[in-house]
Amino acid sequence: MLDHLCLLALDAGRAIMEVYEAPSFEHHIKSDASPVTEADTRAEAIILAGLRARYPAIPIVAEEECAAGRVPETADKFFIVDPLDGTREFLARNGDFTVNIALVENGEPTLGVVFAPACGELFAGANGLGAFRAGVENGKAGTRTPISARPCPSAPTAVASRSHGSLETNEWLKRHSVENYVARGSSLKFCLLAAGEADLYPRHTRTMEWDTAAGDAILRAAGGVVHDLEGRPLRYNKRGQASDVDFANQGFIAYGDPDFAF
């Protein structure tokens, strides 16, 4: 399954880059105030077709399908897809956008693929299999290099959102005396922790499960953890929430080193 999801992510990435490299492209704003482009819809169509053909019995929760009101019933196992995570980064043409595909089982992301087509980097991981990264050239992934999160150093490095920073996150960093800070877009922040290139990813603004599941799965496979703001493992398939819509996250802290978790 992990190999197949990697191939789907590469196919979706090719479609995204066709739009990205065009002289111009249009976008519109959805009801939740987030942007969407032709690249989002084309990539999602490729992923949905591939998953449905190979795994017809597994439900798929996909961002643009949900935005259109097509939300499936979810069981203990389902796929969750963000075809273009970091659309604002896509519009800014800074390269920090990704294709995210994950498998969720019993509320936990157990398998994930993150592909950054403009950066030419593929990250993937699964529970029990570990995590890896691979360079991508001409649409094909190269040698897989195992990755793992690192023990937290005395001066940890945090990554935080390029487009969704918050006063709460800044205060959290100050409160925990974290001075080294890198701003990145999309789910690449999880991947930096998984690769041992950073240590903390605090997020105090709202996200959706499709924004986090693939990167979360890779980080967990690499030895890290993701906690909600109450210190519990971040859970998935959150439906019927009194305070928000289905699949919404209300903040989290990702740690490369579980022993450093606050």
Tens digit of pLDDT for each residue in 107-147? 999 999 999 999 999 999 999 999 999 999 999 999 999 99
Do both 135 and 163 map to the same domain? no
pLDDT tens digits, residue range 227-248? 999 999 999 999 999 999 999 9
CB 77 within 8 A of CB 50: no
Do both 164 and 239 map to the same domain? yes
Residues above pLDDT 90, as percent of the chain: 83
Looking at residue 176, its pLDDT comes to 87
Residues making up the binding site for Mg(2+): 63, 82, 84-85, 211
Average pLDDT score over residue span 189-218: 97
Burial profile 25-59: b = 16 or more Cβ within 10 angstroms, e = fewer: eeeeeeeeeeebbebbbbbbbbbbebbeeebeebb
Residues making up the binding site for substrate: 63, 84-87, 211
Looking at residue 164, its pLDDT comes to 62
The residue among 133, 144, 127, 155 whose CA lies nearest residue 224 is 127
CB within 8 Å of 33: residues ≥ 6 apart: none
The gap between the terminal CA atoms of the chain, to the nearest Å, is 34
Do both 61 and 85 map to the same domain? yes
Residue that has been written with the tokens 């023990």 in this structure: 151
**Domain contains 151:** no
Do both 47 and 106 map to the same domain? yes
Residues making up the binding site: 63, 82, 84-87, 211
Do both 44 and 129 map to the same domain? yes
| Residue that finishes a domain, picked among 111, 146, 181 | 146
Q: Which domain holds residue 42?
A: 2-146
For residue 149, is pLDDT > 70? yes
Query: How many domains in the chain?
Result: 2
* Average model confidence (pLDDT) across the chain: 94
For residue 219, is pLDDT > 70? yes
Do both 19 and 56 map to the same domain? yes
Looking at residue 34, its pLDDT comes to 82
CB 204 within 8 A of CB 227: no
Average pLDDT score over residue span 214-224: 98
| Residue that finishes a domain, picked among 146, 176, 201 | 146
